[in-house]
Chains A and B, each alone.
Chain A
Amino acid sequence: MTSILLEVKNLRKEFGGVIAVKDCSFNVKENQIIALIGPNGAGKTTMFNMITGYIQPTKGKIIYQEKEITRYAPQKRVKIGFSRTFQQVKIFQNMTILENMLVAMKNNEVPWATIFSPQKVKVQEEENTAKAKELLKMVKLEGKENKLAKNLSYGQQKLLEIVRAVAVECTLLLLDEPAAGVNLTMLKTIKELLLTLKKKGLTILFIEHNMEFVMDIADTVVVMDYGEEIAVGTPKEIRKNKRVIEAYLGT
């Protein structure tokens, strides 16, 4: 029996006069891969920003593990198991790839940690480095640890952002268009990564325009249009859904 991890209830977001999300509800079941799809401007990113706490909904509720978290700050959501990436890549450009990873991992972060307990910090750092290298290997970024992140290609930067989000120990991983601007080989890499993470018990919610990618790995697809969810179902059901074909998939 799979229980519900995240519940989005009648979320609405108005920006001045613009209604970005009108009234959107859906559930995310534990240990599933859920895709959020829909035309440009449908309100997908806005939904993501509300779920992760970057913007406050005008109306509606967000429930996570049976607790209402609608007003939680983004950092507090990270503490209870959220991790996310952004539609526009956000990596630490002038830091190395390894540093990018290490920032995401837990270590003693009081300023005088290296003065009063250097040994403990060092041991943790070594452990984290090993773990980071393992993750980087999964997206074929091994051997580049000491390169500045800005020297990576766009696709590689996307991969780095994804594994960095994975490095935050999370229960729910949210990815905004992970496959955008990424070549076919890398696409395969991301697919494999997401399936591996699912096996490890993660729940993944992602936004994507690449239909092949969505149909390949999603357990459930949520389709949005004009700020509302117009269909929820398995990839097969969604492909046959008349409203979805009209609004998004075309013929």
Chain B
Amino acid sequence: MAWNFLGADYLLHLIIMIGIYVMVSASLNLMIGYTGMLNLGHVGFFGIGAYTSVLLTHPVYGLGLPFSVGLLGGAAMALLGGYFIGIPSLKLRGDYLAIATLGFGEIMRAVFKNWQSLTRGPLGIPAIPKATIFGYTLATKESMAMVVIVATLICLIVLWKIIHSPFGRTLKAIREDEIAAISLGKEVRRYKMTALCISACIAGIAGVFYAHYISFIDPTTFSFSESVIFVCMVILGGMGSFWGSVLGAIVIILLPQPLRFLGFHADIVGALRQILFAAILITMMLWKPQGLISEETITEEKETKEKAAESGTA
């Protein structure tokens, strides 16, 4: 019975979900891991991307525009959302920023729920059109998976380039010591704002793909517990570790899958998932706070490699 799940369709579903969550987790890592800004409302940007695109593209509940417009619109609105939340909250430090972003996530959910004339509120928006690319509709899971993989790779390459640029290095410096970064002339607020906007934009793109893949969204999709899962991916993988955040997303998607094979009812699976993630978070904090792939092991590796090279030439 359970083996039905392991068909090609199921594997493609996992690939698509992993792609979407990798975008979320890698973008969130830019904020939490590299810049040291705890963001507990990342789902807000994910939701803005999803709702914007759906409202732009839906033939019945929206404007019926092409998917490419939805994608660009979703990314742009999420970025703008990042900018507007950044103006007041980047004046705040540490824990306060976390609270402010948490509030932002909840406000967005309230907007999705209460602006009923636009979003249909708790009813949600069903029958979201499939994504199209260059006029070709991604009706099959295969084609959708291909496009999501490409989109994820593009996002990862962009993030990689940003992190490994002088700008990315300054973000790390800000995480390490804000005052010292200021003493080197860095306009810390501007750097944080830029990181926030990039992060929000990529989360928005992930939200667009999510909506057009799942084909139904409602406010409960974008609740605080989803933000917690996002943070969970970053912490599990390793804050400030590029491949860590990718691994974190993969593990978080795959780990609860066996629950389905065990034949639990969907409601129970949902609850069990939450418990599982909470357990992961606590275990990681106690056992390996630096995550599965810690930033340090990467640097140490570099060092030992160099030492090996040195002794090799000596």
Binding site for B on A (CB under 8 A): 52, 54, 74-75, 78-79, 83-86, 90-96, 99, 102-104, 107-115, 121, 125, 146-148, 164-165, 168
Decide if B93 is an interface residue (CB 8 Å cutoff): no
Q: Could you tell me the distance between the alpha carbons of A42 and B165 in the complex, rounded to whole angstroms? A: 43
Q: How far is the CB of B240 from chain A (nearest CB, A)?
A: 8
Distance A108 CA – B169 CA, assembled complex (angstroms): 12
Q: Which listed segment binds A: B16-24, B57-65, B184-192, B212-220?
A: B184-192
Question: Contact at B166–A99, with CB atoms within 8 Å?
Answer: no
A151 to chain B, nearest CB (A): 9
Highest count of chain A CB atoms <10 Å: which of B161, B168, B182, B183: B183
Residues in A neighbouring B158, C-beta threshold 8 A: 115
Query: Could you give 24 example pairs across A and B, Cβ below 8 Å?
Result: A74-B183, A83-B184, A84-B183, A86-B183, A90-B180, A92-B176, A92-B177, A92-B180, A94-B176, A99-B169, A102-B166, A103-B169, A103-B170, A109-B165, A110-B167, A111-B168, A111-B194, A112-B165, A113-B166, A125-B166, A146-B302, A147-B303, A148-B296, A165-B183
Is B176 a contact partner of A95 (Cβ separation < 8 A)? yes
CA distance A84 to B179 in the complex (A): 11
- Cα separation A104 to B295 with both chains bound (whole Å): 22
Main secondary structure of the interface of B (DSSP, over half): helix
Range class of the B interface residue count: 20 to 34
With contacts A95-B173, A168-B185 taken as known, whether A86 is within 8 angstroms of B179 at the C-beta atoms is yes
| Nearest-CB residue, chain A, relative to B159 | A111
Report if B311 contacts A (CB, 8 A). Answer: no
What separation, in Å, do the CA atoms of A84 and B180 have in the docked complex? 9
- Measured in the bound complex, the distance between the Cα atoms of B187 and A109 in whole Å is 11
Q: Which of B165, B182, B295, B296 contacts A113 (CB 8 A)?
A: B165
Given contact pairs A85-B183, A92-B176, A146-B299, enumerate 5 new A-B contacts (beta carbons under 8 Å).
Answer: A94-B296, A95-B169, A99-B169, A107-B166, A114-B165
Minimum Cβ distance to chain B for residue A238 (Å): 29
Q: How far is the CA of A74 from the CA of B187 in the complex (A)?
A: 9
Check if B166 sits within 8 Å of A109, measured CB to CB.
Answer: yes
Closest 9 CB pairs of A and B: A78-B185, A92-B176, A90-B180, A114-B165, A107-B166, A103-B173, A114-B161, A111-B167, A104-B184
Task: Find chain B residues with CB under 8 A from A109 CB.
Answer: 165-167, 170
| Complex Cα gap A103–B170 (Å) | 6
Residues of A within 8 Å of B187, CB to CB, are: 75
* CB-contact partner of A168 in B162, B177, B184, under 8 A: B184
